[in-house]
Amino acid sequence: MNNKTLAILKPDCIKKNLIGKVTAQIQDAGFKVLGMKMIRLTPDAAKGFYEVHNGKVFFDNLIEYMTSGPCVPIALERENAVEEFRKLIGATDPAKAEEGTIRKLYADSIQENIVHGSDSNENAAKEISHFFSRKELLEINGL
């Protein structure tokens, strides 16, 4: 599978009323939305999602931020989805992100950086299944 990735519009994106603008930029870049919902992460769910960062200095703040308000996970489809989506969002630190990328345009800091994108095909599959069951994705897309 190299045609799917998971985006999450993070709490700062929702607080700044940017759901529409960011989603439009994603769709304009050729991504098809397969699934989209608004959720509130519990601390345990946020810790599970970011388990790879457990123990890092920014971990506790990251969990606090990700649970501070609603998030919008979006399952996306496009050729070479993981890599193309990472290009579209830009570097983790918006100060280092390329002009025109979503993080460069809208993010305030390395922590509050508007959007998540999966970093490998393997993680994309795992992360999509965190928020959307296979059955649910098939059903909502009419298959």
List the catalytic residues.
116
Shortest Å distance, C-beta 86 to ligand ADP = 8
Residues near ligand ADP (CB under 6 A) are 53, 58, 62, 92, 110-111, 113, 116, 119
**Beta-carbon-side half-sphere exposure of residue 109 (alpha carbons within 13 Å):** 7
Determine contact, residues 33/74, Cβ cutoff 8 Å.
yes
For residues 121 and 2, the answer to whether their CB atoms sit within 8 Å is: yes
Residues 96-135 interacting with Mg ion (rule: CB under 5 A): 119
77 binds, among Mg ion, ligand ADP, none (CB under 5 to 8 A by kind): none
Nearest to 11 by CA among 130, 111, 135: 111
State which residue, 77 or 119, has the beta carbon closest to Mg ion. Answer: 119
Residue 62 or 137: the one with the smaller Cβ distance to ligand ADP is 62
- What residues make contact with Mg ion under the rule CB under 5 A? 119
